[in-house]
């Protein structure tokens, strides 16, 4: 079939199975957009900023596991995608970003709207391409999606010069993907699996530490089977939230800086840390030399570079979480291993009872945690995707929401990108039209991409934004309060500016304001029941902190705030807990 490069690009997207493009046009991208205009199988969503487009593709991928395409123009269109790409790279989220480029003869001449986007994105993409021959397009696109979605997923960028998208070629499909330098290891080494299974069978105080890799490899069933078979408590990271049912008796919560105390105590006391699809991020480990020092460590990950990167490992397993967990369970069944964690679970449950998450429920003030708890209660019977911005809103959401199924959570983990939540919610809503999609936002973050309210309105995507409006950059203010003598440099916003209800009105959204506890449920319910997009501006107390908290660089069992309770060594000595397993 003869067609130009632009049409070939769109045809290849159709053939690879792409159902949605988040795209913002411009001069040299026009041949591609002209071809998109004819596509019947691809829905094209026009964001209001290229950064929004990338976060939308990101949100879409987090709830589906599939890669969407982003298409933008050259120069500023391309550079505006950089934050979104870096965000996806840090969190291992698959997507393919197409950037138009100036024509090949003028590349390198500082032509109008030229930028070296393959150079710029080199360290933040899994791979990238500059296509110089239109005949290469089908193959490059097939490769790009293959690379983005296999192994450790991630963003791939394809730069398409204007003359390439105008050149006539003979389109051929299917194409063979031949990447001799790219062979991810899926199957864990049998000897290592056996060794890990032996350790698990013997462990008296094991702990599963599960992350985004569980979601990427769809290993939630296998995780649950292993945990239940051996009765091992499960801590899920921010990226792994939803990988394990959060109403399960073995569910622990998020480890690290703002994790509940009992999770960090368990991490400090465990004798076998079974880390799967995680990367021992500093927000989890705190001071590395004090992290899980009593434990042998099993670390399974599809990316060999993650194993031993931060924490020395006793049993390294390179492989995908799904296969590795299934093999571990099979190996343990074969040897008829029995759980030996009764005593350990008693200790853990005791910690859980004594050190629950805690905030002031008595004052009657509108607390941010209460807002999140009410969101949880009001959505408990509705299929819901929860998105967050970054900062206090994100930590409160992670602490107080209870996920019931995997892939219903979208939060910027590694990069911590303010402004992620709303466009991610829009992308998630595109993928999950039947779900309620809620962005738990802060008054700072929401203003970083609030232009996407137009996208939601025009594309009829009924997302809900609940703003925990405290008039501050809350997390910055919290650090200034704790570590900078309350000198609130550049962290003071104004609860009244903008008037979010009027902003909602301006975009044709349903808007409401909550200033007291009494108004909260009705406003949230009305927003959730509204057929279109809706915003709730919750005027929460100004100077609430996210507790408990590990001071930066501190040991994770020494936490600020929350219910009284010192380092775990004190917990073990105070008589309340006896070391029954010794």
Pick the piece of the chain touching other proteins (CB under 8 A) from 114-122, 290-298, 373-381, 502-510. 114-122
Read off φ and ψ for residue 84, nearest 5 degrees: -65, -40
Contact pick of 66, 127, 346, 404 for other proteins (by CB under 8 A): 127
Output 127 or 166, the one with its CB closest to other proteins: 127
| Cβ contact 371:26 at 8 Å | no
Applying CB under 8 A, the span of 87-95, 123-131, 406-414, 509-517 interacting with other proteins comes to: 123-131
β-pairing, 559-560 with 549-550? antiparallel
Q: Of 341, 103, 70, nearest to 200 (Cα)?
A: 341
- CB-based burial, 63-76: b 16+ in 10 Å, e otherwise: bbbbbbbbbbbbbe
By CB under 8 A, residue 198 contacts other proteins: no
Separation CA 411–CA 397 (nearest Å): 10
Judge whether 406 and 248 are in contact, CB under 8 Å: no
Binder of other proteins out of 303, 350, 499, 519 (CB under 8 A) = 303
User: In the complex, what is the shortest distance from the CB of residue 123 to other proteins, in angstroms, rounded to a whole number?
Assistant: 6
CA distances from 261 to 13, 255, 267, 370, 563 (A): 47, 9, 10, 20, 9
Residue range at the interface with other proteins (CB under 8 A); choices 42-50, 180-188, 292-300, 571-579? 180-188
Task: Choose between 156 and 436: whose C-beta lies nearer to other proteins.
Answer: 156
CB of 119 to other proteins, least distance (A): 8
Pick one of 1, 190, 305, 580: the residue that binds other proteins (CB under 8 A).
Answer: 305
Q: DSSP string of 358-369? A: ----SS----HH
Q: Is 186 in the site for other proteins (CB under 8 A)?
A: no
Return the number of the residue (180 or 553) whose C-beta is nearest other proteins: 180
Cβ at position 304, least distance to other proteins in Å = 6
Question: Could you give the CA distance from residue 522 to residue 529 in angstroms, rounded to a whole number?
Answer: 10
Give yes or no for a contact between 319 and 188, defined as CB atoms under 8 angstroms apart: yes
Radius of gyration of the chain (CA): 25
User: Cβ closer to other proteins: 89 or 220?
Assistant: 89
Closer by beta carbon to other proteins, 308 or else 383: 308
For the bound state, the minimum distance from the C-beta of residue 225 to other proteins, rounded and expressed in Å, comes to: 30
Query: Of 164 and 538, which has the nearer Cβ to other proteins?
Result: 164
The CB-of-181 to other proteins minimum distance in angstroms stands at 5
Q: How far is the CB of 327 from other proteins (least distance, A)?
A: 23
CB-neighbour burial class of residue 343 (10 A; exposed 0-12, middle 13-18, buried 19+): middle
CB of 318 to other proteins, least distance (A): 10
Residue 135 binds to other proteins (criterion: CB under 8 A): no
Q: Residue 350 burial (CB < 10 Å; 0-12/13-18/19+)?
A: middle
Would you count residue 105 as binding other proteins (CB under 8 A)?
A: no
3-state secondary structure of 564: coil
CB of 303 to other proteins, least distance (A): 7
Long-range contacts: 5-8, Cβ < 8 Å, 24+? 5/31, 5/134, 5/137, 5/160, 5/164, 5/165, 5/166, 5/167, 5/169, 6/31, 6/32, 6/33, 6/34, 6/35, 6/165, 6/166, 7/35, 7/38, 7/171, 8/134, 8/137, 8/138, 8/169, 8/171
In whole angstroms, the minimum distance from the beta carbon of 310 to other proteins comes to 10
Token pair for 65:
């596991």
Q: Check residue 158 for interaction with other proteins (CB under 8 A).
A: no
- Say which DSSP state 472 is in: B
Please identify which residue in 26, 304, 416, 508 interacts with other proteins, judged by CB under 8 A: 304
Applying CB under 8 A, among 38, 172, 179, 377 the residue interacting with other proteins is: 179
559 neighbors 261 (Cβ within 8 angstroms): yes
Residue 181 sits in the site that holds other proteins (CB under 8 A): yes
**Using CB under 8 A, which of 122, 190, 365, 492 touches other proteins?**
122
| Residue 309 within binding range of other proteins, rule CB under 8 A | yes
Size of the site for other proteins (CB under 8 A): 16
Distance CA 253, CA 234 (A): 7
Figure out which of the listed residues 42, 90, 147, 232 binds other proteins, where binding follows CB under 8 A. Answer: 147
Range in contact with other proteins (rule: CB under 8 A) among 161-169, 175-183, 459-467, 499-507? 175-183
Question: Of 208, 263, 277, 353, nearest to 550 (Cα)?
Answer: 263
> Given the complex with other proteins, which of 120 and 461 has the nearer CB atom?
120
Of 235, 100, 220, which is closest to residue 159 (Cα–Cα)?
100
Q: Which of 174, 180, 553, 575 binds other proteins (CB under 8 A)?
A: 180
164 binds other proteins (CB under 8 A): no
Positions that interact with other proteins (CB under 8 A): 118-119, 122-123, 126-127, 130, 147, 179-182, 303-305, 309
């Amino acid at each position: 079939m003869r067609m130009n490069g632009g049409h070939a690009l769109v045809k290849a997207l159709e053939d690879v199975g792409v159902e949605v493009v988040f795209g913002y046009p411009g001069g040299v991208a026009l041949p591609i957009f002209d071809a998109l205009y004819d596509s019947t199988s691809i829905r094209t969503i026009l964001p209001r900023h290229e950064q929004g487009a990338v976060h939308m593709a990101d949100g879409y991928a987090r709830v589906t596991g599939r890669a969407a395409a982003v298409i933008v123009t050259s120069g500023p269109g391309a550079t505006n995608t950089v934050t979104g790409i870096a965000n996806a790279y840090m969190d291992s989220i698959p997507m393919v970003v197409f950037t138009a480029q100036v024509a090949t003869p003028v590349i390198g001449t500082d032509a109008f709207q030229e930028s070296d986007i393959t150079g710029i994105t080199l360290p933040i993409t899994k791979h990238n391409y500059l296509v110089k021959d239109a005949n290469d397009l089908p193959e490059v696109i097939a490769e790009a999606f293959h690379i983005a979605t296999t192994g450790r997923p991630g963003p791939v960028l394809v730069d398409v010069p204007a003359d390439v998208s105008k050149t006539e070629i003979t389109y051929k499909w299917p194409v063979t993907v031949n990447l001799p330098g790219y062979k991810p290891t899926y199957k864990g080494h049998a000897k290592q699996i056996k060794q890990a299974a032996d350790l698990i069978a013997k462990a008296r105080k094991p702990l599963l530490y599960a992350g985004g890799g569980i979601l990427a490899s769809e290993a939630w069933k296998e995780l649950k089977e292993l945990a239940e078979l051996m009765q091992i408590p499960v801590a899920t990271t921010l990226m792994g939230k939803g990988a394990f049912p959060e109403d399960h008796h073995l569910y622990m919560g998020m480890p690290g800086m703002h994790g509940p105390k009992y999770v960090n105590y368990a991490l400090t006391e465990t004798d076998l840390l079974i880390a799967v699809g995680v990367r021992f991020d500093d927000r989890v480990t705190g001071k590395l030399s004090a992290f899980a020092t009593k434990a042998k460590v099993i670390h399974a990950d599809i990316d060999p570079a993650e194993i031993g990167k931060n924490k020395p490992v006793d049993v390294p397993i390179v492989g995908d979480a799904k296969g590795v967990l299934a093999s571990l369970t099979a190996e343990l069944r074969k040897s008829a291993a029995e759980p030996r964690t009764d005593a350990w679970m008693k200790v853990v449950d005791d910690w859980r009872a004594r050190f629950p998450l805690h905030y002031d429920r008595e004052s009657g003030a509108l607390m941010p945690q209460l807002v999140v708890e009410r969101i949880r209660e009001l959505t408990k019977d509705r299929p819901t995707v929860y998105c967050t911005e970054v900062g206090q809103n994100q930590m409160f959401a992670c602490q107080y929401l209870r996920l019931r199924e995997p892939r219903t959570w979208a939060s910027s983990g590694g990069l911590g990108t303010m402004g992620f939540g709303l466009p991610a919610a829009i992308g998630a809503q595109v993928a999950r039209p039947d779900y309620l999609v809620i962005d738990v936002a802060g008054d700072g973050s929401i203003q970083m991409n609030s232009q996407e309210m137009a996208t939601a309105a025009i594309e009829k995507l009924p997302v809900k934004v609940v703003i925990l409006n405290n008039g501050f950059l809350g997390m910055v203010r919290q650090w200034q309060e704790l570590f900078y003598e309350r000198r609130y440099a550049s962290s003071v916003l104004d609860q009244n500016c903008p008037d979010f209800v009027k902003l909602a009105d301006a975009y044709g959204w349903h808007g409401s304001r909550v200033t007291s506890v009494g108004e909260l449920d009705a406003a949230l319910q009305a927003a959730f029941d509204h057929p279109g997009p809706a915003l709730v501006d919750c005027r929460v107390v100004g100077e609430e902190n996210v507790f408990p908290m590990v001071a930066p660089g501190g040991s994770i069992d020494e936490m600020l705030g929350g219910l009284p309770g010192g380092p775990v060594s004190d917990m073990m000595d105070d008589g309340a807990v006896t070391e029954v397993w010794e």
